[in-house]
A = this chain, B = another copy of it.
Amino acid sequence: MQNIEEKLLSYAGKVEHFLSQSISTDDKDLLSLYASMRYSVMAGGKRIRPFLVLTVSKMFGGKEENAIYLAAALEMVHTYSLIHDDLPCMDDDDLRRGKPTNHKIYGEAVATLAGDALLTGAFELIAASGLSDKAVRMAVLTLASAAGADGMVGGQVMDLSSSEQKEQDFNRLIKMHSLKTGALIAAAVKLGLLAAENEKEADRHALTSYARYLGLAFQIVDDVLDVLGDEEEMGKQTGKDKEAGKTTFLHYFSPEEAMQYAKDLTDLAKGCVKDYENAQTLTQLADYLLERKK
């Protein structure tokens, strides 16, 4: 049996190949825009979100040739959010995955527009898939509501204002993460079900609950790694949260307590999918994300 790292690499390769083919142009007037889009899209990363789309689609009998459209679309939305998040007017980050951030290479204007184009292109990709018209409509609705004002963008606005309020209420912190990262991770499993044209409410409920616990555990580990992680291994500056005056889970817990909390959430995530015979990859993924060092 493949271990989870091999599985992640295998799907990441497929998604990157698909993205590379989807985001290309022969138009010389648009080369700088496409170069900027490709720079961030092809910058690596664990590709967790597309992995979830493809894994869930496979679990429920979906065709990979359809699911890959939704997986790539979701990764484009994730990438656009990173480009905009790194801008000077937002988190003002110079480094992402060990490389200069997009605006450091292409300038703020092109970086902003590359993000806009990736977000727009994600919906184009979904509409161009081989899925049924109904599944396309549902996928657009799922992705847009997860990524928009009541989802990821809303979470980003909450995150911005959190640095202004020194002691963030714990429930507000959970809500912020639930919107900022949780919504897109939950969208991943929903898109996987749509790729398999699966409309069963019980499956949707179980998988979404899995994704919600997984997303929160992921964020807690992220906060711990920001304090205890190895800067070189992580490919980005650590200690940024504290420097920015942001409240993290380590405001409420010691690193050990936080990791225990993440472990409990991981167990809850695994419990949500325990009745599926072929959920082993989802279980492995949850453990892998808990134990990661970057």
Say what secondary structure dominates the interface of chain A. helix
B172–A147 touching, CB < 8 Å: no
B124–A144 touching, CB < 8 Å: yes
- Chain B positions within 8 Å of A160 at CB level: 109-110, 113
A141–B113 touching, CB < 8 Å: no
* Contact flags A92-124 to B (C-beta < 8 A → 1, else 0): 000000000000000111101101110111011
A112–B90 touching, CB < 8 Å: yes
- Chain B positions within 8 Å of A136 at CB level: 133, 136-137, 140
Closest CB in chain B relative to A273 CB, distance in Å: 28
| Number of residues from A at the complex interface, CB < 8 A | 56
- Chain B positions within 8 Å of A117 at CB level: 148-149, 153-154
Residue numbers of A with Cβ under 8 A of B are: 23, 25, 27, 29-30, 32-34, 37, 80, 84, 87, 89-90, 107-110, 112-113, 115-117, 119-121, 123-124, 126-128, 132-134, 136-138, 140-141, 143-145, 147-150, 153-154, 156-158, 160-161, 172, 175-176
**Closest 9 A-B residue pairs measured CB to CB?**
A89-B108, A133-B133, A124-B144, A120-B148, A117-B149, A127-B141, A127-B140, A33-B157, A117-B153
Please list 10 pairs of residues, one from A and one from B, whose beta carbons are closer than 8 Å in the complex, sorted by A's number: A29-B176, A30-B157, A33-B149, A112-B112, A113-B153, A113-B160, A116-B116, A121-B148, A124-B144, A127-B140
